[in-house]
Amino acid sequence: MAVERTLSIIKPDAVAKNVIGQIYSRFENAGLKIVAAKMKQLSREDAEGFYAVHKERPFFKDLVDFMVSGPVIIQALEGENAVIAHRDLMGATDPKKAEKGTIRADFADSIDANAVHGSDSVENAAIEIAYFFGTEVYSR
Ligand code: UDP
């Protein structure tokens, strides 16, 4: 087992639903520690840079529009196998396909407004944590 860090975002739909605390409880109950956190209104530049890997995808403009539609909460989580543990808590990208009891099954409305983001690998976690918090947060 490896102690990892991962980047989590509570997206504008979930912030607007007032479920930040419920989502944080799920992290804590799963043994994931919040080691950095901030609320931020993303600029278009922030959102476009963060999702740059998707810039050729048909949903890119809608994704950016959604991510700047209200404030988000961004956090770095730390724990045993944090990347996979967090993805398991989140559930599938499309909430209709997400397992019962996952964050997306319980709080997301659609594949576009799907409540949360989570890094998909340890390598991307390092890049994404540095994107929002700088490199000093990632190094333990
Ligand atoms: N997305 C979308 N439509 C799609 C696929 C993805 O709006 O058909 C959005 C969705 O918000 C998703 C994000 O783009 O969370 C990033 O997609 P990815 O495949 O990386 O999914 P994730 O890692 O967030 O589950």
Q: What is the pLDDT of residues 9-32, one digit of tens each?
A: 999 999 999 999 999 999 999 999
Contacts (Cβ under 8 Å, ≥6 apart) of 35: 5, 75, 76, 77, 78, 137
For residue 31, the model assigns a pLDDT of: 98
93 CA → ligand 1 middle, Å: 6
Alpha-carbon radius of gyration of the chain: 14
Go through the domains of the chain in sequence order and give each one's CATH number: 3-133 (3.30.70.141)
117 CA → ligand 1 middle, Å: 9
11 is in an annotated binding site: yes
Q: What is the pLDDT of residues 103-128, one digit of tens each?
A: 999 999 999 999 999 999 999 999 99
Instruction: Report the b/e string of 37-51 with b at 16+ CB within 10 A.
Output: eeeeebeeebbbebb
User: Does pLDDT of 139 surpass 70?
Assistant: no
Contact 104, 91 (CB under 8 A): yes
Comparing CA positions, the residue from 65, 69, 74 lying closest to residue 12 is 69
Contact 40, 72 (CB under 8 A): yes
Catalytic annotation, pick one of 7, 117, 125, 132: 117
For residues 115 and 138, give the distance between their C-alpha atoms in angstroms, rounded to a whole number.
24
Q: Is position 117 annotated as part of the catalytic site?
A: yes
112 CA → ligand 1 middle, Å: 7
CA distances from 53 to 45, 48, 88 (A): 14, 9, 22
Q: Which residue has the tokens 């994931």?
A: 32
Q: What is the pTM of this model?
A: 0.97
Chain CA centroid to CA 26, Å = 13
Q: What is the ipTM of this complex?
A: 0.97
For residues 75 and 8, give the distance between their C-alpha atoms in angstroms, rounded to a whole number.
5
- Tokens representing 59 are 């949903």
The bridge status of strand 3-10 relative to strand 116-118 is antiparallel
Query: Relative to the CA of 63, which ligand 1 atom is closest?
Result: 7
